[in-house]
Structure 1
Amino acid sequence: MTDSNGPKTETDPQRSFTRIFFDAETVVTQDDHIWPVQLIDISLRGILIQVLPDQKINDNKLVDISIHLGGDIQICMEARVANHRDDKVGLVCEHIDVDSMTHLRRLVELNMGDASLLERELSVLN
């Protein structure tokens, strides 16, 4: 996502991956529950979402995530809860298909603006 001030990213010395502040239609599925959630940020390793009070995500079970980028393009991944504070839930990607990874990589690349940073983050994934 880009605004008049350029791409919005956040880095933390303890994090290996740049977080891109990004807003897209996002759905989390766990067991028989399907919840639309607010996507706050995304990285090559996972996402941060905001949930409503009645959306109770079980921290001990995997969730399926679908992020709709427009048209029929989406990023789908299976993730586990990394942290849960109030209405914010950090999810770490456990599995992502090749097409979704391609879309995610392109999204991060466009928002980082520096291909060498992207390559460094991708090398950490291996």
Structure 2
Amino acid sequence: MNEPDSKERRRFHRVLFDAPATIIRKKNAYPTTLIDISLKGALLKTPADWSGELGDEITIEVMLNHVDAVISMHAVCAHEENQHLGVLCEKIDMESIMLLRRLIELNIADEDQLQRDLEALG
């Protein structure tokens, strides 16, 4: 029996983007690397010293090429497997959403897909 592809269940297009990131959980900072990101979540490498659990509220900060360009997202740990941590965005500030939108625009070939993702946010 074939299992459904998890990418097909996603409502938001993810873009691959290798960048340094930090996970903040209960005032502890865990340096890591971003694997991919969407308007509604992200996939990160699980930090070596990670002690979080599914459902934990965290903040992720993704450092872009510019020193002061940081995407900050309040999120919930959604899944962890194969040394990857998937997070679901719960809240994002206006500056971060503008940076994220621009990042996705630069990395997505289908402008219509981006518009559908934005409309799905509500």
TM-score (norm 1): 0.85
Instruction: Indicate the residue corresponding to 1:84 in structure 2.
Output: 80
Give ranges in structure 1 of 5+ residues lacking alignment.
1-10
Instruction: Indicate the residue corresponding to 1:57 in structure 2.
Output: 52
Taking the aligned partners of 2:117 and 2:47, their CA distance within structure 1 comes to 31
Runs of 4+ residues over 6 Å off in structure 1 = none
What is the CA distance between 1:84 and its match in structure 2? 1.3
CA RMSD of aligned residues (A): 1.5
Instruction: Indicate the residue corresponding to 2:106 in structure 1.
Output: 110
* CA distances 1:11-60 after superposition (whole Å, capped 9, x unpaired): 93211111111011100000031000121111111100112332112323
Q: Percent identity?
A: 35
Please identify, of 33-42 and 109-118, the stretch whose mean Cα deviation from structure 2 is larger: 109-118
Pairing partner for 1:31 from 15, 20, 26: 26
Pairing partner for 2:14 from 8, 19, 40: 19
Matching of residue 66 in structure 1 with residue 73 in structure 2 = no
TM-score (norm 2): 0.88
Give ranges in structure 2 of 5+ residues lacking alignment.
1-5
Instruction: Indicate the residue corresponding to 1:6 in structure 2.
Output: none
Taking the aligned partners of 2:48 and 2:107, their CA distance within structure 1 comes to 31
What is the CA distance between 1:86 and its match in structure 2? 3.8
